[in-house]
């Protein structure tokens, strides 16, 4: 991390889905994410043949201090496990803090859940998705190209993964004939683009 409180400008690479400077980069492969898909066995079998990167992130050098605004890019590759599109693990924040996702390239969506409420926000370049505090959130690539976005968040918000690992997001984003549909766990369709 750079010194606390140092102003800087970072360059965004929309198609690559990268921010520079980055303090660290991360990647999540299919084998690590198998259990979050509706068909984990299929995800594991795919990963055994080719353990592809599902998404990667770069995080700008913002210090972990109260009041700091974190900047991180995510690039989700196009792909599916069966009919279910590639997606992030999804998380809640440890603190009651919101976040904004700014679409940079590709076609995606933001799936949110708070208790039994589920919401879907279509994402692409030019769309800012607002994540209110207290909502679990996951992003999904519903297109044929990488889907990239910038996350802007309170640096100390933190990630809480177990609730999503245990309870899921309340809905799945599945391939439709020409697009996608967002289907709640009870089978109701809440959004679609065909």
The contact set with Zn ion (CB under 5 A) reads: 99
Which of 65, 94, 130, 159 touches ligand M6P (CB under 6 A)? 159
| Residue 130 interacts with which of ligand M6P, Zn ion, none, CB < 5 to 8 Å by class | none
Site string for ligand M6P, 137-156 (x = CB under 6 A): --------------x-----
Q: Which stretch binds ligand M6P (CB under 6 A): 13-21, 44-52, 87-95, 109-117?
A: 87-95
Contact 84, 172 (CB under 8 A): yes
Separation CA 80–CA 99 (nearest Å): 26
11: tokens are 């360059």
| Residue 84 interacts with which of ligand M6P, Zn ion, none, CB < 5 to 8 Å by class | none
* CA-CA-CA-CA torsion sign (183, 92, 79, 38): negative
88: contact with ligand M6P by CB under 6 A: yes
Name the residue nearer to Zn ion (CB basis): 84 or 99.
Answer: 99
Long-range contacts of 9-14 (CB under 8 A, 24+ apart): 10/60, 10/71, 12/73, 12/104, 12/150, 14/104, 14/105, 14/125, 14/148
65: contact with ligand M6P by CB under 6 A: no
Min separation Cβ 101 and Zn ion, Å: 8
90: contact with ligand M6P by CB under 6 A: yes
Of 113, 155, 156, the closest CA to residue 132 belongs to 113
Which of 57, 109, 129, 143 touches ligand M6P (CB under 6 A)? 57
Contact 113, 170 (CB under 8 A): yes
Separation CA 181–CA 194 (nearest Å): 8
For ligand M6P, the binding residues (CB under 6 A) are 57, 72, 74, 88-91, 151, 159
């Amino acid at each position: 991390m750079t010194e606390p409180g140092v102003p800087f400008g970072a360059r965004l690479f929309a198609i690559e889905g990268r921010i520079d400077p980055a303090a660290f980069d991360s990647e999540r492969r299919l084998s690590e994410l198998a259990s979050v898909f509706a068909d984990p066995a299929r995800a594991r079998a795919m990963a055994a043949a080719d353990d592809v990167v599902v998404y990667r992130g770069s995080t700008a050098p913002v210090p972990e201090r109260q009041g700091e605004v974190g900047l991180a890019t995510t690039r989700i590759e196009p792909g599916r496990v069966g009919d279910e599109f590639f997606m992030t693990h999804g998380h809640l924040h440890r603190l009651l803090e919101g976040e904004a996702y700014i679409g940079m390239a590709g076609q995606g969506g933001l799936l949110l859940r708070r208790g039994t409420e589920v919401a879907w926000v279509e994402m692409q370049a030019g769309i800012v998705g607002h994540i209110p505090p207290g909502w679990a959130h996951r992003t999904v690539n519903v297109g044929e190209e990488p889907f990239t976005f910038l996350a802007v968040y309170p640096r100390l918000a933190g990630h809480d993964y177990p609730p999503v690992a245990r309870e899921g997001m309340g809905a799945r984003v599945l391939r439709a004939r020409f697009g996608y549909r967002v289907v709640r766990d009870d089978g109701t369709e809440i959004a679609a683009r065909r």
